[in-house]
Amino acid sequence: MTSSLDGSLVLNNIKLTNVPTAVAVNGGPPLLDGGTTTIDSWAQGNVYTGVSSSGKFVQGNIPSISKASNVFDGSGWIFGKTHPQYKDYSVSQIVSVKAQGAKGDGQTDDTAALKDIFATYAACKIIFFDAGVYVVTSTIPIPAGTQIVGEAWTVIIWAVGALFRTRLIHNLLSGLGGAAGTNLQESRCTKQTDTGSNCFTAFMAFHLTSASSTYLVGTWVWLADHDLDASYQGQLTLYSGRGIYSQSQGPVWLIGTGSEHHTSYNHQLVGAANHYMGLIQTESPYHQPSPAPPSPFSILSSWNDPSFSNQNAAWSLRVASSKNILIFGAGLYGFLQNYDQICVDDFNCQQQIVYIDSSSGVAIYSLSTVSSVYQLSINEAGIIPNSANRNDFAQTVTAWTRT
């Protein structure tokens, strides 16, 4: 392999109808013939297996990976649900949270109102979040079967330490701090200051319990790095202990989900199963390694928190004691050290970014990282260095499988 990848592509379970050429070089010969056929698995790029740090450049067929049967639809494709248009629903089938008493004004605590709305209308109405900023201060349980849709710029602000347990969400921004009404803005939490517990936002951002199942599309779980309501949107130092934590047995679909700036991890799966994670995205906390994780929080074994013996920043993705986990496209970014981007040019803003334990059933297609020395680690031992996979802006592992 060379140190420059110059393009990476994975085609998996692609159905063609009367397509002359499936893959070709611009101005060059075909790489993969077309026709009326289904492409099982084909790749161009660097492919890795197990604990080997030596990948192989492939421009051809690769072994197909197994997928959990319950993440498919009835036609043999990964289940997908476009954003509903609701044209076939009557107004009486939709309930507005503001009409039911939530304020969404960025100041009023809407926790009680939202809990009452979900308890009353889950699984029997489509719950519509009108544009607004909804402040919540404790856990919002959402029963199975709930459908939620948000109007443009719908924001749920977790003012202090809330968790969110959910079922079905399209296009929702859930923000921690950095907006009027949170009391976690530039005047109180300016970057690179000793803010202490005054600038703690949440114990955990998002928890999928063992019995839950969820389909999330375009959901952004964001710890604010800047003040949205300040004139210059100045940078902040805020702390959220943990990002998206799943113990779900599935099926779970996380599609286009973002989780940013959480202290110990952005995505963690422990004892989980049957997940399809497509085009997930993360950013590591800008302040790290000052302090390094888990500071300013403590490791809690009861919540399966990671250790950090060889790590100076949050894990973007951590998978342990899990099975049937497919990551199909991931952009995991470490842009800064203590708000400084000098490390980007040296590709070393953090040491490790993806943790897989030695037993979990995981397969990864198209893993793109930025400025992590190791792109994938097994039991916190770096396995795949970024040096072999530099691909313009990002460093890309085309595929990794256990065997």
Predicted confidence (pLDDT) per residue in 43-93, tens digit: 999 999 999 999 999 999 999 888 999 999 988 899 988 877 888 889 999
Residue 397 in domain: no
Predicted confidence (pLDDT) per residue in 377-396, tens digit: 999 999 999 998 998 889 99
Structure tokens at 239: 């702390």
The verdict on 113 and 59 lying in the same domain is no
At residue 48, the pLDDT reads 97
249: domain CATH number is: 2.160.20.10
Lowest mean pLDDT among 82-91, 103-112, 190-199: 190-199
CA distances (Å), origin 45, targets 55, 56, 60, 388, 390: 9, 8, 9, 11, 11
Residue 86 in domain: no
The verdict on 215 and 359 lying in the same domain is yes
Predicted confidence (pLDDT) per residue in 5-27, tens digit: 668 999 999 999 999 999 998 88
More confident residue, 168 or 247: 247
The verdict on 173 and 318 lying in the same domain is yes
Identify the CA nearest to 367 among candidates 107, 67, 24, 47.
Answer: 47
The verdict on 169 and 228 lying in the same domain is yes
The per-residue DSSP string of 247-288 comes to: ---S-EEEES-EEE--SSEEEEEES-EEEEEEEEEEE--SST
Identify the CA nearest to 246 among candidates 135, 322, 149.
Answer: 322
The verdict on 151 and 246 lying in the same domain is yes
Structure tokens at 13: 């379970």
The verdict on 146 and 256 lying in the same domain is yes
Residue 349 in domain: yes
At residue 173, the pLDDT reads 62
Residue 40 in domain: yes
Task: Give the integer Cα–Cα distance in Å for 222 and 283.
Answer: 9
Residue 306 in domain: yes
* Residue type at position 24: A
The verdict on 18 and 134 lying in the same domain is no
The verdict on 47 and 117 lying in the same domain is no
The verdict on 21 and 126 lying in the same domain is no
Residue 69 in domain: no
At residue 5, the pLDDT reads 66
Residue 133 in domain: yes
The verdict on 33 and 108 lying in the same domain is no
Predicted confidence (pLDDT) per residue in 267-316, tens digit: 999 999 999 999 999 999 999 999 999 999 999 999 999 989 888 999 99
The verdict on 163 and 40 lying in the same domain is no
Structure tokens at 292: 């390094």
Number of domains in the chain: 2
At residue 401, the pLDDT reads 95
Residue 111 in domain: yes
Identify the CA nearest to 221 among candidates 310, 158, 179.
Answer: 158
The verdict on 44 and 166 lying in the same domain is no
Q: For the whole model, what pTM was predicted?
A: 0.86
Domain interval for residue 323 = 92-372
